Structure formats: structure tokens, C-alpha cells
Amino acid sequence: MEGVLYDDSAWERWLFQLLVRMGIRGSFDGFRAVWRRDYLANVPSGSCSFELTLRRFLAANGMSDGTIHEVCAAAVCRHRHHISHPVLFPGVARPILELGRLGVHWTAVHRSARSSTD
């Protein structure tokens, strides 16, 4: 339910801001489109781990091996935090709690940014 119940772009915005400070140029929308279409799409299928995908993305953007290592260490840690502590959009918690109070059971299905091997 990313993008509906909670902000699924928080980690991507954090990474983009880091990359901009490191000299990468472009717009967030362009960055996000390329990241999701050309790289992240391979992760849920298990064809590539999240970290390896991130390393490939950073290499394609001209980063050195040392820089990739440092960025990956921070980014993977930050990503784990973001997926384990999603921030609900304002006004979302109350209806969910009310539905539970009324005995309504529901299931949310979401696209994972982790492979089964991560």
C-alpha cells in the first residue's frame, strides 16, 4: 500500500539528496523513474539483491568503488529502517484503528523492495 497509506518515497528522496550533494545532477522525478524502472524492478523477482542493484545503479552513475561502498553502507542501513518503520500519511491511522475496532479484517498487499535472498 506504498504511496497510499504511507510515503514510499522517503528513502528515495534521502538517497537522491545524498547523490546531489555528491555531484549527481538531475531531477528527483527522473532519478526515481530510472531507479524504479531499470534497477529496482529486478529485486522482487529475486534476479538481483537490493544491495547489488544499488551498487549497479551507483556504478552506472560514475561512482568509484570506494564511494559505492560508502554510499551502500549508509543507504542499505537507511533503507532497512524506512521499510521497517513506514511513516503513515496524515489521517491514515485513525480510519485503520476504527476499522479494527469495528471488527473489519483487511489485508494490504505491497510491492517489496527486497528479494527473498535479502
d(CA 19, CA 61): 10
pLDDT, one tens digit per residue, over 9-50 is 889 999 999 999 999 999 999 999 999 999 988 887 778 889
Read off the pLDDT of residues 60-85 as tens digits, 9 standing for 90 and up.
999 999 999 999 999 999 998 887 87
What is the pTM assigned to this prediction? 0.73
- Sketch the domain layout of the chain as residue ranges: 10-101
The Cα–Cα gap between 92 and 16 comes to 26
Is residue 106 within 8 A of residue 50, CB to CB? The reply is no
* Encoded amino acid at 77, one letter: C
Cβ burial 15-52 (10 Å sphere, 16+ → b, else e): bbeebeeeeeeeeeeebbeebeeebbebbeeeebbbbb
Cα(18)–Cα(8) distance, integer angstroms:
17
- Rounded Cα distance between 7 and 87, Å, is 6
Burial label, 83 (beta-carbon count in 10 A; 0-12, 13-18, 19+)? middle
